[in-house]
Chain A
Amino acid sequence: MERILFGDNQFFAVNHISDEKSRAQSIKFKEDKTILDTIDIARGLGTETFMCTTHDRIINICEMVRQDPEKYKNFSIFPCMPYAHKYANAVTELGIVGTIQQYVPGNFFGTMFKGGLAVMSKDYISIMELMVDAEMKMFKKINTPVIFLQNVVTDLLLGLGMKDILKAYHDYVIKKYNVEPGFITMNMPKLLAMLESVGIQNPIICSSINKAGFRMSGGMEIYEKTLREKQVRAIAMQVLGGGAIPAKDALEYVCNLPNVSSILFGASSKQNIAQTISLIHEFDEKNNFKI
C-alpha cells in the first residue's frame, strides 16, 4: 500500500459538515472528466492510488482509465463496496428481500426464493460472493490491490456478531481476486478484535483517526492503545476530523501514530492536494517513516 491514498468523497458530494459544500462539489464535478483530471493532479504529485466507493460514476472513470493503459500503468484503485446509499434507498422502497432480488445478478436467488427451497449456509455466502462480483465488474483490467468492505456493512456485521461472514468476505477476496481484503469501520478496536477471533492476522483496516477524536467510537484512547499494542495495517481517514482541525496539526497527529500504514485524504483543488501531500512527506521525514 502506498503511504498516501487519494479518496473520492469530494467527487460525490459527501461532506460531513455542510450540505451546501456538498452541492458545490456536485456542480464542480458534474463531468466525469473533471474527476479524472483531479485524480491526475494527485498522480502527478506521486499519489497513484485512488480509493473509491463503487458509485455508478466510477464505471465511466474506469472506462477512461482503460482507454489509456500507458498513462495509467502505475495507477491502482482500491474499490470500497457497496455504495451503501444505493442499497439503503432500495431497502426503504423494496424491503430486504426485494433489494437482494434486484441487485443479485442472475435469477439464482429469485428462483430459489420463489421455489421456497431451503436455503443452506453456503447459499448465503454465495449471495455475498455474487454481490462482490457484481460490484467488481466495473474494475475489469484495472489494478485493484486491496478491496474494501464499506463501513456500513462491516459495522452492521460487527454489531450483529456475524464474524463468519466477515471471514468469508476476507477469504473470497483472496481466493477469487488474489488481492488483499480490507475493511472500513467506525469501530476499529472492536472490529480488529473480531477479525482476530476468526484468525485474521494483521488486517488492513481503514477508520477515522484524527486529533479531534471525531468518529473514533469508544474514544481516542482505545484507538491509540490498539495502534500501539496490536498488529494492524491501519489506514487513517477523516484525518481533518470533518474540518475541525487545521491541516498541519491534523497531519502531524496521524503521522506520529504507530502502525498507521497509510493516510487517506480527499481534496478538490490542486493547492489543497499539494499541501496535504507535502505536509505528510514533511512529517514522515521528520519521523524517519518507512513503509
Chain B
Amino acid sequence: MIKVALIGAGKMGISHLSILGAHPDVEIVGVADTSKMVNDVLEKYSGFKTFTDYKKMLDAVKPDAVFVAIPTKFHADFVEELLNRNIHLFVEKPFCLKVEQSEKLSAIAKEKKLINQVGYHNKFIGTFEEVKRIVSGGHIGNIQHFLGEAYGPVVLKKKQDTWRSDPEEGGGCLMDYASHVIDLLNHIVAPINTVHGSLLKPIYSNKVEDAVYALLETETNISGVLSVNWSEETYRKMSTSITVIGSEGKIISDASELRVYFKSAKCPTGYSKGWNVKYVTDLTEQVDFYLRGEEYSAQIDYFIKAIKGEVPNNKNTFESAAKTDKVISLIKNKKNNA
C-alpha cells in the first residue's frame, strides 16, 4: 500500500481524495486543510486524520506521497519542503507562479529521483492522446498552424472577490482555463517559446482577466492562436478543443470527438483518406473507479503506478509543467501588447 496524504481539501483536493479513497493500492494517511469545517466533516464521516498544519501532518503520518491542491501561490514553498522530505508529489495545476520556481523544483525532483506529476488531466483523455499520436507520427505532415480553445461558464456575473479573482494568488482565466490549453499545445505540437501578442480581457471580474487571446509560436517555428474565455454561458461546462493544420491533413478535436482529414491514403491504420471521426468512447480505457471523467481517475492511477515502478514517470512531469508556466509568464509579459 502507498501511504498518501492530501494538502488542500478544496474542489480538486476532495475530488482527488475520493478517487484515492477508492484506489486499491492507496492508504489515505492524512489530510491537511485550513478549514476547520472541512477537516471536521472528513474526520467524522471518512475517518481521516486531519491537520491544520501540513508540517505537523508530515511528521505524524510520514506519507510516501502527497497530493498538493492549494492555491498556486503556495505551491513553491510547500513543494520544496515536501521534496526535501523525499516525498513523491502530485501537484495541482498550474505548477508555480514564477518559472524560476518551477524549474528549480523540477531539478530537485529529478535529482532526488522522486515521482513528480502535475494535474493536467487532458493528457489522459483518449481523443487528445490520439491527436498526439497522429501528430507525432507525422501523419498530417509538417504542422503549419494550430488553434487552442477553451470556453466555459465559470464567471457569469460580477461577484465577491476570492483568491480566484486575485492575480497575485494565481487567479484568473489565464492560470485556470488557459493553462490547460497551453499545456496541451506544448505536448501535442511543440513547446511554445514566443508570444507575439496577447489580450487579457476582464468581462465581469475586477482584477483578473475572464478571457485570454494570444498569438503564439513554438520553438519549431509553428504559429498558433490561443482563444480562451471562462465567461461563456453558451457552454454547459468547460470545453477544450485543439485544431492542428498540417501539410497532409488537419485535426479538430475536443475531449469527446476527434475529427481528422487526411489528404491522401497515407494515413494510420483505422483511418482513410478524407474525413474520419472517432469518439472518446472508442479511445478510452475503462477505469476501476469513476468520479467525474475517466481522465481524473487515470492520472491518479498513473501516478500511483509510477511510484510502484510499473510505468515511467514521464507524463505531466514538473519539467513539462514548468514549460507551461513559462508560456503563461510570456503571455502576461505581452499583456495588451505592453
A, B in one complex: yes
Residues of A at the B interface (CB closer than 8 Å) are 12-20, 22-23, 26, 85, 88-89, 91-98, 113, 119, 121, 124, 152, 155-162, 164-165, 186-187, 190, 212-219, 241-244
Do the beta carbons of A18 and B257 come within 8 Å of each other?
yes
Contacts of A22 in B (CB 8 A): 236
Interface status of B37 (Cβ within 8 A of chain A):
yes
Among the interface residues B45, B164, B237, which one has the most CB atoms of the partner chain A within 10 A?
A: B45
Do the beta carbons of A93 and B159 come within 8 Å of each other?
yes
Do the beta carbons of A214 and B287 come within 8 Å of each other?
no
Q: Which 5 A-B pairs have the closest CB atoms?
A: A159-B18, A186-B290, A242-B281, A162-B45, A17-B279
Do the beta carbons of A96 and B155 come within 8 Å of each other?
no
Contacts of A164 in B (CB 8 A): 45
- Please pick, from A14, A26, A85, A190, the residue contacting B289 in the complex, using a CB distance under 8 A: A190
Contacts of A96 in B (CB 8 A): 10-11, 14, 35, 38
CA distance A243 to B281 in the complex (A): 9
Contacts of A89 in B (CB 8 A): 152-154, 237
A159-B289, A161-B47 are known; give 4 further A-B pairs, CB within 8 A: A14-B236, A92-B164, A244-B279, A244-B282
Do the beta carbons of A97 and B11 come within 8 Å of each other?
no
Contact with A along B148-181 (1 / 0, CB 8 A): 0000111100011011100000000000100000
- Please pick, from B20, B22, B237, B286, the residue contacting A219 in the complex, using a CB distance under 8 A: B286
Residues of B at the A interface (CB closer than 8 Å) are 10-11, 14-15, 17-22, 35, 37-38, 40-42, 44-47, 152-155, 159-160, 162-164, 176, 234, 236-237, 239, 241, 254, 256-257, 279-282, 286-292
Do the beta carbons of A97 and B37 come within 8 Å of each other?
yes
Do the beta carbons of B45 and A215 come within 8 Å of each other?
no
Among the interface residues B20, B234, B236, B237, which one has the most CB atoms of the partner chain A within 10 A?
A: B236
Q: Is the interface of B mostly helix, strand, loop or mixed?
A: mixed
Do the beta carbons of A217 and B40 come within 8 Å of each other?
no
Do the beta carbons of A159 and B21 come within 8 Å of each other?
yes
- Please pick, from A26, A160, A215, the residue contacting B46 in the complex, using a CB distance under 8 A: A160
CA distance A20 to B176 in the complex (A): 24
Among the interface residues A113, A152, A161, A164, which one has the most CB atoms of the partner chain B within 10 A?
A: A161
CA distance A158 to B236 in the complex (A): 25
Given the interface pairs A92-B11, A217-B290, the reply to whether A242 lies near B17 with Cβ below 8 Å is no
Q: Which residue of the partner chain B has the closest CB to A162?
A: B45
How far apart are A158's CB and chain B's nearest CB, in angstroms? 7
Given the interface pairs A96-B10, A217-B290, the reply to whether A19 lies near B256 with Cβ below 8 Å is yes
Contacts of A124 in B (CB 8 A): 41, 44-45
Contacts of B41 in A (CB 8 A): 124
Contacts of A14 in B (CB 8 A): 236
CA distance A12 to B20 in the complex (A): 31
How far apart are B314's CB and chain A's nearest CB, in angstroms? 26
List 10 A-B residue pairs with CB atoms under 8 Å apart, sorted by A's residue number: A19-B257, A23-B234, A92-B11, A124-B45, A155-B290, A156-B14, A158-B18, A159-B289, A219-B286, A241-B281
Do the beta carbons of A17 and B257 come within 8 Å of each other?
yes
How far apart are A147's CB and chain B's nearest CB, in angstroms? 21
Do the beta carbons of A160 and B45 come within 8 Å of each other?
yes
Q: Which residue of the partner chain A has the closest CB to B38?
A: A96
Contacts of B160 in A (CB 8 A): 94, 98
Do the beta carbons of B236 and A12 come within 8 Å of each other?
yes
Contacts of B289 in A (CB 8 A): 155, 159, 187, 190, 217-218
CA distance A241 to B289 in the complex (A): 17
Contacts of B241 in A (CB 8 A): 19
How far apart are B109's CB and chain A's nearest CB, in angstroms? 27
How far apart are B166's CB and chain A's nearest CB, in angstroms? 13
Contacts of B292 in A (CB 8 A): 152, 155
Contacts of B10 in A (CB 8 A): 91, 95-96
Do the beta carbons of B35 and A213 come within 8 Å of each other?
no
Contacts of B287 in A (CB 8 A): 217
Among the interface residues B17, B176, B286, B290, which one has the most CB atoms of the partner chain A within 10 A?
A: B290
Q: Which residue of the partner chain B has the closest CB to A12?
A: B236
